[in-house]
Amino acid sequence: MNGLDCWVGIDLGSTTTKAVILDSEGAILGRGITNSRSNYDVACAVARAEAFVDARFALARRTLEADAELAPRTELLLPVIAASFAEAKHGAALDALRAELLVAARNDFYKSWQPALDRVLGEIVDEMEVRAPALFVPGAERKSDFFRDLASSSFMQLSEEAADPGTMPQDVLIGMFDKAIIKVENQELEVSFEEHVGQALDRLLEAAGLEAGERARAAELMEYAVGMPLQERAHVGTGYGRARLPFPKASIRSEILCHGLGAHATFPSTRTVLDIGGQDTKAIQVDERGIVTGFQMNDRCAAGCGRYLGYIADEMNLGVHELGPMAMKSTRKVKINSTCTVFAGAELRDRLNLGQQREDILAGLHRAIMLRAMSLLARSGGVHDDFTFTGGVARNPAAVRALRELVTENYGERKINISAASIYTGALGAAIFARRAEDADESTEEAAA
């Protein structure tokens, strides 16, 4: 079987690590994301692995759609396979969590809480396992894509229920979790793709969603997609942590250039790009070639970035996903003053105590963030058509709404692009750089030959 050439871009962000795989046509084959964690190599490897899995799905989709018989069943097959795969990964991580929790509980420091500690921890994980499948029903809403967030949220809840101030303080349980989760997320968990395709197909068969003949055909096609060798020709890294990537210097690009290029590739007529990530905000102006002509970024202070929302979400015991939709329900304007991320939590509490609605407060917070972004945009040269909003915060509908309002109020009507995959913009730019560099090398080689 002839393999497929591909190029990889990796954006090692402060909060999330993203990977994008391009094929020889420059089309996106796969995307992967994970939370950046203490071990950058692992984060990088996980994002890359996820992107390759995603690429497999893309190949599978291509194959299925090209098959006369199965094409109509694509939308039935793929989500189930994906969900099954995700659930399996989650299960593997839970296993690891269980093991690490028990290791943590062995520490002498916690001797006085034993043996109850082991038991309570075990019960919590049992319950987490029980709840897991519900998370992975195709189409289910999850608080986050990341194991850390999902596990943390249910652990918090379960540990609160299990805790007792005298005999088993919640602080102790949380302490166990904090210790264990670091270990878990720094392991690369092996989950076999092939195996889960098979399981998913069986499940569909059981649920009578699929006929036996279709199953066989599907298995055949999937085997092809899964077996296709993917040859990584080159990679480029970018992002906040790029200096720490295990790449040679030539394979590292400034994140500003990558974001500019990535946005240009997605929306060729874009001239202004705003990227709001976990702890930095960039306003970039690009020309018709995607070349950066001006930029501004915040520094020294993380006020008004994605982390700010993260703090607020923690404070309210919500996932970052839920903040935007909640803020969209606001009916009254509230002006938020805190510029500091850490103080925002305190202000939130103050205002809740004053009886303000949390929807309104949240809307005010989103506007506050966007006001800061507007300043950077103004500094970088304004907002020009088309305007593209990228980065994780572009996934947040309330942030997008606040931005739209402010842009229109201050610059008039602008075409605003928001790509569903906006969080991958930097990684995409990096992948394009990887492809280009390779082209350039080849052309020189050819010239020399």
Ligand X SMILES: Nc1ncnc2c1ncn2[C@@H]1O[C@H](COP(=O)(O)OP(=O)(O)O)[C@@H](O)[C@H]1O
* Nearest residue (CB) to ligand SF4, 97 versus 369: 369
Residue 38 CA to residue 341 CA, distance in Å, equals: 21
- In whole angstroms, how close is the CB of 423 to ligand SF4 at the nearest point? 22
* Nearest residue (CB) to ligand SF4, 140 versus 301: 301
Site for ligand X in 323-352 (CB under 6 A): 324
What's the count of helices (H) and strands (E) in the chain, helices before strands? 14, 9
- In whole angstroms, how close is the CB of 396 to ligand X at the nearest point? 4
Query: Which of the 8 DSSP states describes residue 287?
Result: -
* Nearest residue (CB) to ligand X, 18 versus 89: 18
Name which of other proteins, ligand X, ligand SF4, none residue 92 binds, using a CB cut-off of 5 to 8 Å depending on partner kind.
Answer: none
* Nearest residue (CB) to ligand X, 383 versus 394: 394
Residue 51 CA to residue 32 CA, distance in Å, equals: 4
Residue 9 CA to residue 44 CA, distance in Å, equals: 10
Residue 367 CA to residue 352 CA, distance in Å, equals: 18
- The angle that helices 397-411 and 358-380 make with each other, rounded to 10 degrees, is 50
* Nearest residue (CB) to ligand X, 317 versus 443: 317
Residue 88 CA to residue 77 CA, distance in Å, equals: 17
Query: Which of the 8 DSSP states describes residue 381?
Result: T
Residue 257 interacts with ligand X (CB under 6 A): yes or no? no
Total chain residues near ligand X (CB under 6 A): 23
Residue 278 interacts with ligand X (CB under 6 A): yes or no? yes
Residue 400 interacts with ligand X (CB under 6 A): yes or no? no
Q: Which residues contact 89 (CB under 8 A, 6 or more apart)?
A: 147, 189, 191
Residue 284 CA to residue 376 CA, distance in Å, equals: 9
Q: Which of 104, 407, 423, 437 binds ligand X (CB under 6 A)?
A: 423
Residue 393 interacts with ligand X (CB under 6 A): yes or no? yes
Residue 409 CA to residue 415 CA, distance in Å, equals: 14
- What is the contact surface with other proteins in residues (CB under 8 A)? 14, 36-40, 104, 109, 171-172, 174-175, 178-182, 240-241, 244, 254, 256-257, 279, 289-296, 299-302, 305, 307-308, 311, 315-317, 335-343, 345-347, 349, 353, 371, 374-376, 378-379, 381, 406, 410, 436
